[in-house]
Amino acid sequence: MDQFNEFLILLDSNLSGSWWFPILLVGTGIFFTIYLGFPQFRFFGKAWHLVSGKNKKTDADGETTAFEALTTAMSGAVGTGNIGGVALAIWTGGPAAIFWMWITAIFGMTTKFVEVTMGHKYRTKLADGSISGGPMYYIESALNMKWAGILFAFLMMITAIGSGNMPQINNIALVMNTEFSVPKLFTGLFLGILLWIIIIGGIKRIASVASKIIPIMGLIYFGGALIILTENYQNIIPSFNAIFSQVFTGSAAVGGFLGASFAMSLKYGVARGLYSNEAGQGSSPIAHASSKNKSIDQGVVSILEPFIDTIVVCSVTALVILSSGVWTQKFDTTFAKTDMVILDGIYSDEKNSDGSYVHPGHINELTSYVQSLDSNVKEYSGTIYIEEGMIIESNITVLHSRSIAEDIKVINNDKKLYSGTLNIVEGKISEPVILEGKSLVSSAELTAKAFSQGVFGEYGGKLVAIALLLFAFSTAITWCYYGDRSTAYIFGERGVFWYRNFYVLCFILAAVIDTTIVWNIAYVVVALVSIPNLIALFVLRNEMKDLTNDFVKENNYN
């Protein structure tokens, strides 16, 4: 698993982790924003009018209303990215990463407008009477390359499993196990069966479920978040200051957080922004294509998606985490091997009475190390001695979750304190033992800790668990539809049954897979599927311009 994880990290470093991908992603949004005359601002009010259903009806084919199509796409976008993904962005990139999530969302509103309009316009009716649309159809038409459409559809099939499926159940299982002591496998099996029952009903059943889940989960999550923010109201302005003041400098080390560079904030802010609102990824046009609206009208409706998903929901999550201060605190946790490394030498994050670090040189070195920059930090290789769970070796430092671990205990597979030796090779433990102790936490666990501070106490984590269950499960439902429409494009409707069953199997297995590996799979496949979609959108720019101009004239915009 360690080797596979290293391979995923290598791929990610050359895709979403490289400079060219954020430029392509955000650059596409900036280009269309200017080229189409800032539609995300001009049409924002119209979008609310259209989604309300007050506009005049059309006789266009379709299987869902504009609202059902929007909530279906929203259920695909609003998931672990809004709870765990925001926490992950802060954990790796610091508060400044949230700013770059906002930037990605603002320009993503235009990208979403373009891709949904095109996906709806080039949709088709299949032999069984169902509607199928999405980037694979306009890629084929725009580039006049059937193979390019097939490539996109194949990548979307993988993305649906690697992004919309596996991270969702992985986070659900983790939080349900932490908060309610429910075995991860049981969570996977129970929800896997429920998932299968829903998805075999096709888009109509999926849209019906999504249109009911979205309002419920919004009330649960926002209600709890507003209570936390009210309790920490004095920290809201400082939280905004932390976000804006470090945008171009990177986030300084504070508490157990070792700091993050400008590059890290930008990278993870953009990556988490994309993962959260999916603009440019080509997924939500598949859901919007089922709408009975006109193509340009449904494109306008889709502008609301990144706004609600990232500007509203992600911002609330970020403010709860930052205002509670948990992002810099260490908590008791079980160490994930992929997030743990043993370093040669002693490093300290001990502080003086004034809050400054006793050994700032240690922090600077470790900050460079966790950012994969040049540093003098070396990974330990050799043997360490353990007695009754305690590490006897005194010249090493255990780094877990990008922080210096404390109060470490080594446990064997029988859940008993381990005694003996451990062989360490380049910072990694060879033996099958478990390490527990205090360190920073990330993903949904960090958000749960934020909700557990103050008035909610231990029930805060349970509230997050319930919200995550609804958020993430609805995401997995919608993403199966994205995958099966892509399957239908390549193999016809006969392949959909097999894809749905394989999708559910992966869903169940991901409940017990290492969280870090699941997220790294998601990073890679999301980047891969975005590239052909963004290229096709640029090719179709003149067609999109004409449709936008017609919409402006029809609605009497100046």
Q: What is the pLDDT of residues 459-477, one digit of tens each?
A: 888 888 888 888 888 888 8
For residue 250, the model assigns a pLDDT of 81
Query: What does DSSP say about strands 331-334 and 131-132: parallel, antiparallel, or unpaired?
Result: unpaired
CA–CA distance, 375 with 385 (Å, rounded to integer): 27
* 104 in the same domain as 14: yes
The residue that leads in pLDDT, 349 or 209, is 349
Asked if 298 contacts 117 with a C-beta cutoff of 8 angstroms, the reply is yes
CATH of the domain at 141: 1.20.1740.10
257 secondary structure, DSSP code: B
CA dihedral 13, 19, 22, 27 (to 10 degrees): -150
Q: How many CB atoms lie within 10 A of CB 335?
A: 20
Q: Which of 439, 463, 484 delimits the end of a domain? A: 439
Q: What is the mean pLDDT of residues 58-69?
A: 69
* 336 in the same domain as 325: no
pTM: 0.85
- Give pLDDT tens digits for 265-274: 887 788 777 7
CA–CA distance, 543 with 128 (Å, rounded to integer): 30
Q: Retrieve residue 428's tokens.
A: 């990694």
Judge whether 7 lies within some domain: yes
Q: What is the mean pLDDT of residues 127-148?
A: 86
* 104 in the same domain as 22: yes
Residues 6+ apart with CB under 8 A from 48: 304
- Residue 432: left if φ>0, alpha if ψ -120 to 50, beta else—which one? beta
* 379 in the same domain as 268: no
Residue by residue, DSSP assigns 314-329 as: IHHHHHHHHHHTGGG-
Residue 60, pLDDT > 70, answer no
Confidence of residue 352 (pLDDT cuts 50, 70, 90): confident
Confidence of residue 483 (pLDDT cuts 50, 70, 90): very high
Confidence of residue 380 (pLDDT cuts 50, 70, 90): very high
For residue 243, the model assigns a pLDDT of 92
Residue 56, pLDDT > 60, answer no
Judge whether 556 lies within some domain: no
Which residues sit opposite 428 in a β-bridge? 425
For residue 172, the model assigns a pLDDT of 84
For residue 303, the model assigns a pLDDT of 94
Residues 6+ apart with CB under 8 A from 174: 184, 443, 444, 445, 515
- Give pLDDT tens digits for 242-266: 999 988 888 888 888 988 888 888 8
Judge whether 284 lies within some domain: yes
Judge whether 558 lies within some domain: no
For residue 59, the model assigns a pLDDT of 54
* 425 in the same domain as 287: no
* 220 in the same domain as 93: yes
- Give pLDDT tens digits for 491-530: 988 889 999 999 999 999 988 876 567 667 767 877 888 8
Helix (H, G, I), strand (E, B) or coil at 300: helix
Judge whether 57 lies within some domain: yes
Q: Which of 416, 439, 462 delimits the end of a domain? A: 439
Sort 144 into a burial class: Cβ within 10 Å, 0-12 / 13-18 / 19+. Answer: exposed
Q: What is the mean pLDDT of residues 390-394?
A: 85
For residue 128, the model assigns a pLDDT of 74
Q: What is the mean pLDDT of residues 22-27?
A: 85
Residue by residue, DSSP assigns 542-556 as: HHHHHHHHHHHHHTT
For residue 54, the model assigns a pLDDT of 63
**What mean pLDDT is reported for the chain?**
87
Residue 485, pLDDT > 70, answer yes
Given the structure tokens 């381990």, which residue do they identify?
A: 418
For residue 473, the model assigns a pLDDT of 87
* 234 in the same domain as 106: yes
- Give pLDDT tens digits for 159-213: 888 878 887 888 788 778 878 888 999 999 999 999 999 888 877 788 788 777 7
* 347 in the same domain as 317: no
* 319 in the same domain as 338: no
For residue 556, the model assigns a pLDDT of 80
Q: Retrieve residue 214's tokens.
A: 């979205």
CA–CA distance, 264 with 17 (Å, rounded to integer): 9
Judge whether 557 lies within some domain: no
Q: Which of 439, 463, 491 delimits the end of a domain? A: 439
Sign of CA dihedral 135, 137, 142, 147: positive
Judge whether 444 lies within some domain: no
377 secondary structure, DSSP code: -
For residue 138, the model assigns a pLDDT of 93
The residue that leads in pLDDT, 253 or 379, is 379
The residue that leads in pLDDT, 206 or 387, is 387
Residues 6+ apart with CB under 8 A from 333: 400, 401, 436, 437, 438, 439, 441, 445
User: Percent of the chain at pLDDT above 70?
Assistant: 95
* 455 in the same domain as 403: no
For residue 190, the model assigns a pLDDT of 94
Q: What is the mean pLDDT of residues 338-366?
A: 88
The residue that leads in pLDDT, 347 or 63, is 347
Residue 345, pLDDT > 80, answer yes
CA-to-CA separations, 102 to 31, 138, 140, 285, 440, in angstroms, rounded: 17, 28, 32, 21, 25
Residue 80, pLDDT > 80, answer no
Confidence of residue 445 (pLDDT cuts 50, 70, 90): confident
Name the residue among 158, 154, 107 with its Cα closest to residue 135: 154
Q: Residue 171: which domain range?
A: 2-329+449-551
For residue 206, the model assigns a pLDDT of 80
The residue that leads in pLDDT, 195 or 77, is 195
Judge whether 12 lies within some domain: yes
For residue 58, the model assigns a pLDDT of 55
Q: What is the mean pLDDT of residues 541-555?
A: 93
The number of folded domains in the chain is 2
* 15 in the same domain as 64: yes
Instruction: State the number of CA atoms in the 13 A half-sphere of 172 facing the CB.
Output: 31
* 422 in the same domain as 525: no
CA–CA distance, 187 with 445 (Å, rounded to integer): 17
User: Percent of the chain at pLDDT above 90?
Assistant: 42
